[in-house]
Amino acid sequence: MIRRLTLFSLLAALLLVTACSSQSNEGGNAGSNAAPAPSSEASGNASETPAGTSGADFSEPVTLKLLFYTGQSQRLAEIAGKELKELVKKEINAQLDLTYLPWSEYGGGKTDLMLSSGEEFAAYTDINYLSKSVSKGLYADLTPYVDDYAPDLKSNVAAASFDAFKMNGKQYAIPVGNRASSAAFYSVMVRQDLLEEVGMSSVGSLAELEEYYDKVHAKHPDMIGFASADATYMLMYEYTDMNLNWINNFIAVNEAAEDDKLISWYESPEFKAYASLMNGWYKKGIIPKYAATNQPQLLSDWNVGKAMFYPGTATRPIEGIASITQAVPTAKLQNYFLNKNDRPKISRGTYNTAYFVSANAKHPERYVAFFNLLQKNQELYDFFTYGIKDKDYTIDEKGRIANLTSDLFFDDWMMMNDKFMRFETNVSDDFIEEYKHWDDDAILSKTAGFNFDNTKVKNEEAKLNGVYTEFVAPISSGFVDYDTYFPKTLEKLKAAGLDAYIAEYQRQFSEWSAGRPQS
């Protein structure tokens, strides 16, 4: 079902103004039970029923300004000028004004400038960015519009996903998508074809992963090992006995502990152990030397089949394979966990994206109505994800999809919803079965639904982010030695207000935890 991932970035990752995800639904369309697709263009077949309930009012034509963090393909531009334009006009009496920025502008940069200057638009958000922006009054309160303008989203996206983007009981972003998403980035995704080429069948430990690198490097010395500079999650099972999860760069929690204690990550012995592992990888060449100055090149090398492994998610082995197989037709990808043992996977929820509307928007309700279209029904899902049936894709008798164009529409990893998602014809039944059971042992993070109000420590937070970028990131990526550089870095973190920041986070989290219903 999934074509190619245009860009990766956790910890921010993701984003065209559509959506992703999925609701665990074994009777859904993830396998052979896909609903029949429309026989002609979606704009002509879209439901005559208004997107909202009787409370929705679409009588006034409006313009919706949507911000994307990826380029517009030629085919999407064509559809935006015709079928998409007609569909949105028909469904919610709106016109779309699409703007594109590079990913580097997400969560700051031009996005912050647009918000601060009072521009009207909608775009992707994560929980941390939401917390910061709401405290500044930059996001519209969407609570009054969810029931009337997003009834289908409420049915097709988990209620917990909506709760994740609330602050003080108010809805400040609309989640889209519902899919298996636990243990995101905790697995290592390897080139299975290379693994088998060097006589190995799987990797289950750090030692085996490094053995895989050594053997492949001996045969293919021009290939790089790790195509990222962040393995915090991926190596977690190796450097600690805890089951760690991270609230942000500075704070972690132990999901195995039945308490509300937050961990100051950079002051922990686990961070030292992790940084030492990464520094060893950098010295050995598993992380290439150019990563210190040109991290985007890592992803480029992965996408053209020049790297051996990468952080994994439930669906990444099929999300990224299309671009790699253009260069290496025999490439195969597989997820493995390193010494996970009996530690359950951690889930932050089943959503993959959420969208805010800026505070000065004249018609926030109509933006909510547009988000509703993205997951309203199978027909519209197929249109937003794949384009026009029989022109951009075909569907076989098992509900499997074959793409007829390599152009992206709305990024399908953001659109994924187990009720509607389709797998490509070349995806194995074994993978589909594994995907269906990916979340079987998952636990919901104790932090799910918690949103931090940074009002009291926003100055400290700004200073800490500056210290992180300049001093912490090179240590955590392994580019410099922990023992040599961390003592001074810790002094800078303390001077920036780390203790006050952690204390305020702990205070709010403890208060929130005390009021949370017990399972």
**What residue spans define the domains of the chain?**
30-178+352-384, 182-347+422-519
**Is it the case that residue 9 has pLDDT exceeding 50?**
no
Confidence at residue 92, expressed as pLDDT on a 0 to 100 scale: 97
Q: Is domain 30-178+352-384 annotated with CATH 3.40.50.360?
A: no
Confidence at residue 23, expressed as pLDDT on a 0 to 100 scale: 30
Torsion on CA atoms 326, 329, 335, 336, rounded to nearest 10: -130
The model's confidence at residue 412, banded by pLDDT at 50, 70 and 90, is: low
Q: Name the amino acid, one letter, at 255.
A: E
Comparing 40 with 297, which gets the higher pLDDT?
Answer: 297
Q: Name the amino acid, one letter, at 369.
A: A
**Is it the case that residue 414 has pLDDT exceeding 80?**
no
Confidence at residue 149, expressed as pLDDT on a 0 to 100 scale: 97
The model's confidence at residue 37, banded by pLDDT at 50, 70 and 90, is: very low
Average pLDDT over residues 18-22: 31
Q: Can you tell me the distance from the alpha carbon of 195 to that of 274, in angstroms, rounded to the nearest whole number?
A: 25
168-185 pLDDT, tens digit each = 899 999 999 998 889 999
195-224 pLDDT, tens digit each = 999 999 999 999 999 999 999 999 999 999
**Is it the case that residue 46 has pLDDT exceeding 80?**
no
Exposed / middle / buried, residue 394 (Cβ in 10 Å: 0-12, 13-18, 19+): middle
Q: Judge if 30-178+352-384 and 182-347+422-519 fold alike in CATH terms.
A: yes
The model's confidence at residue 47, banded by pLDDT at 50, 70 and 90, is: very low
- CA torsion sign for 512, 517, 518, 519 is negative
Confidence at residue 403, expressed as pLDDT on a 0 to 100 scale: 86
3-state SS, residue 260: coil
- CA torsion sign for 333, 338, 341, 346 is negative
Confidence at residue 324, expressed as pLDDT on a 0 to 100 scale: 92
DSSP3 helix / strand / coil % (the chain, rounded to 5): 40, 15, 45
**Cα–Cα–Cα angle for 84, 86, 88, rounded to 5 degrees:** 65
Q: Can you tell me the distance from the alpha carbon of 300 to that of 307, in angstroms, rounded to the nearest whole number?
A: 9
Average pLDDT over residues 361-365: 97
287-338 pLDDT, tens digit each = 999 999 999 999 999 999 999 999 999 989 988 787 898 899 999 999 999 9
Q: How far is residue 496 CA from its own chain's centroid?
A: 29
**Is it the case that residue 138 has pLDDT exceeding 90?**
yes
Which of 33-42, 227-236, 369-378, 442-451 is predicted least confidently?
A: 33-42
φ and ψ of 48, to 5 deg: -75, -15
Confidence at residue 322, expressed as pLDDT on a 0 to 100 scale: 77
Torsion on CA atoms 282, 288, 293, 296, rounded to nearest 10: -120
Provide the whole-model pTM. Answer: 0.76
- Count other Cβ atoms within 10 Å, centred on residue 322: 17
Confidence at residue 365, expressed as pLDDT on a 0 to 100 scale: 97
Confidence at residue 102, expressed as pLDDT on a 0 to 100 scale: 87
**Is it the case that residue 406 has pLDDT exceeding 50?**
yes
Residue-by-residue DSSP string for 367-416: HHHHHHHHTS-HHHHHHHHH-SBTTTEEE-TTS-EEES----SS-HHHH-
Percentage of residues of the chain with pLDDT beyond 70: 87
**Is it the case that residue 508 has pLDDT exceeding 80?**
yes
Q: Smallest Cα–Cα separation from 235: which of 265, 278, 288?
A: 278
- CA torsion sign for 237, 242, 244, 250 is negative
Comparing 53 with 106, which gets the higher pLDDT?
Answer: 106
Question: Residues 6 or more apart from 237 whose CB is under 8 A from it?
Answer: 186, 337, 338, 339, 340, 341, 343
Confidence at residue 2, expressed as pLDDT on a 0 to 100 scale: 34
Question: Residues 6 or more apart from 467 whose CB is under 8 A from it?
Answer: 489, 492, 493, 496
Confidence at residue 517, expressed as pLDDT on a 0 to 100 scale: 58
The model's confidence at residue 484, banded by pLDDT at 50, 70 and 90, is: very high
Q: Name the amino acid, one letter, at 412.
A: D
φ and ψ of 73, to 5 deg: -70, 160
φ and ψ of 23, to 5 deg: -105, 130
Confidence at residue 81, expressed as pLDDT on a 0 to 100 scale: 87
Confidence at residue 38, expressed as pLDDT on a 0 to 100 scale: 35
The three-state (H, E, C) secondary structure of 109-167, written as one string = HHHHHHHHCCCCCEEECCHHHHHHHHHCCCECCCHHHHHHHCHHHHHHCCHHHHHHCEE
**Is it the case that residue 17 has pLDDT exceeding 80?**
no
Q: What is the mean pLDDT of the chain?
A: 87
244-281 pLDDT, tens digit each = 999 999 999 999 999 999 999 999 999 999 999 999 99
Q: So what's the architecture of 182-347+422-519 in CATH?
A: 3-Layer(aba) Sandwich (3.40)
Confidence at residue 246, expressed as pLDDT on a 0 to 100 scale: 97
Q: Can you tell me the distance from the alpha carbon of 373 to that of 353, in angstroms, rounded to the nearest whole number?
A: 15
Comparing 456 with 168, which gets the higher pLDDT?
Answer: 456
